[in-house]
Structure 1
Amino acid sequence: MLAGACVLSAQTLAAEQGGSQAQLGPRPFFLIDDLEAGELKDRLSQCEAGPFYKTDFSIAHRGAPLQFPEHTEQSYRAGARMGAGILECDVTFTKDRQLVCRHDQCDLHTSTDILSKPDLAAKCTKPFVPADRTSDGKAEAMCCTSDLSLAEFKSLKGKMDGANPAASTIEDYMKGTPPWRTELYATDGTLMTHKESIALFKSLGVKFTPELKAPKVAMPFEGDYAQDDFAQQMIDEYKSAGVDPADVYPQSFQLRDVLYWIAQEPEFAKQAIFLDDRDETVEGFDAQDPGTWTPGMAELASKGVKIIAPPIHVLVTLDATGKIIPSAYAKAAKSAGLGIITWSLERSGTLTDGGGYYFQSVKDVIRSPGDTYKVLDVLARDVGVMGVFSDWPATVSYYANCMKLN
């Protein structure tokens, strides 16, 4: 009976969203096999026959960077094939003020092959410096999109993000991929402009969640390119492409950007996302203590904010029995009428070490890969999130299809 319900749900999703069938691969099934026996495992197991379709609950975080170089055409296509209904381009700018997709304005040295190109490496803000084993100095470099023209940026190839801080050569420095990721699909990562990402996402039939990245250069850039110009330019590229604002979820960690869109682009601001990283940036922040949230949920809502997006661990905690439950922060956000999105699933390796940053508030009960679905289930059922960013969208797509989520 449950299997039939899940198949019907997937077909209904496809009809409602106009989506194509998703290709989930083996990972969701591996996680379900690893999940401890119980109601959740039984429910998810009933849906193994599919079919599966794209869903807006599944948001591709930088594409599918668990196995593909992030923010590349290949990574985006993989995320869409795995059922993500929304894809992310993190937006920054080049020296000639063209918008491109990169997680950080200054991550080219870890996420592209720039250091292997001497003419372009020489333009880096901080050229490569090898590790100094006598003084424990780490190898380092800093290469920014703002160091290059758009044409120069487009000549680069994406690689798996990472660097070896103990490296004495550029070749060794570029070999820093975490062991739980893979180089198998990292042979030819095609970098994307923001405009190219819009065209690609339209062709894939998915929605858009661009993140306006905080600039690492002084603003106004070169004296006259101000933050508001940057924020407006990003929205203007959707308007020029004829994209319906209802299909766009603009994001920023800077509340000022969200407030700018609310004031200047109210149609696009209806789904603007305030990315909340106060757990890292505000001293004393506690997801269980409303007194440490400034501004609070009601104030954010009164300013016109509609959606808030903290990391996973801010939304969940453990009760006295070790059960995973919503945090006070999660309950307050819902009470204030805020929609909630969270980040980022499948970014924590095997979970055999407690899951690291994204699972820190529940690490005492995180033991194995299957616990990914335990946490996702609480986020969906109890916290009531409207979507989940994932580095491997198939995991979330499977859950959303099976649980009849949009």
Structure 2
Amino acid sequence: MTVSERYVAWCAACDWNVDPGAPDPAPGRIAAVQQRLCQAYGQQLAAEMENGGGESGSARRDVSSVLAFALALLVHAVTLALVVTGLLLVVLGWSTGVQPAVGAVLLLVAVVLRPRVGRLPKDAPVLHRADAPRLFGLIDEVAGVVGTAGVQAVVVAPAANAAVTTYGLRQRRVMYLGLGLWEILSPQERVALLGHELGHFAHGDVRRGFVTAGALRALDTWFHALAPVRPHRLLDRFVNATTFVPRWAVFGLLVLLDHLTLRESQRGEYLADVSAARAGSTGAAVGLMDRLLVSSSVGPELRRESVAAQMSGGRAGREARDRAEHGLWERLAAHMAAVPDHEYERLRRVAQRRGHSVDTTHPPTHLRRHCAATGGPHPAQVVYDEDLAAGVAAELAPARAALARRVIRDFAG
């Protein structure tokens, strides 16, 4: 056994003490269903990927996509019916005085349930092509490798994650780049990260579509709005009984829409991992999976930095915060780089035991890692050399400084 004060002592031969932590908390009803589906689909699709069937099954995907789109339209039709009914009650019901109030409530509900067009955040640094030509050039090069176009904006955030989506009526592409993840990756792992995220555009994901994503959000809102209340009074019991059938009807529709979309969404994750390997190399894609296992400790480490900097008051406190802001991301990278190999191995075994995934809609991380490791091997088609790394770092410097200040000043609260 390797014993360290900072990490769990465990036995690699017999797995003694490999997972001493508390079990994962029980997820909610919807999350539990998603988790079961993801575990089942993840194993099936991992086997297909190993047998070279990752791109097969287009007919099945087409049928599922069409059914999911039709079901999503049905959900939005209910929202549209609320709008029409609400307008009629407001316009034509003034003789009673009650109908306009009911109509206003229906219109308010429809506003809450409406599909939303994405917007760029106002509280985070947003980079456009003119702001960061080297970064966007890198993104364009990776996009060309994975078979898609680049993005129109990059949002820089402190979180340990990354994502792509669209914004505006014209559905422009945007990438969310979390420094908490970006800064702890090696250069080629950063290329793999970009390849994975852009792979979602290349391979498509019905759950990310405007219509389907809006329907999932609307059904989730309905389900929580119809949730039973604690029965303290007779009226509470009456309300729970009245909402019982609609609540379970909504739950059934949500499970059905999940069933129609989750399998192909997970296939998209596996294919995005292939894109990551093709862009950054197989080794970089595997390394990225390992970093995801330790990314949960990024938040606590940033919070520790923030709390430590705010322990002193007055002028000394201001100086301490200024010092903490300077080099924050470098200290985070050094802290995560110090994680030993035996801790990564322990976390990989824990992930396999618990079925760890990024969230309830992603395949298990250990299956993704296995597929990335056994596929290929792929050499790096995009090389993140020192000159490019220095250029990208210079373009990200203002955002890094602004987010370091936010983390140190506000993260502890």
| Same fold per superposition (TM over 0.5) | no
TM-score range, shorter chain: under 0.3
TM-score relative to the length of structure 1: 0.21
More helix by share: 2
TM-score (structure 2 length as normaliser): 0.21
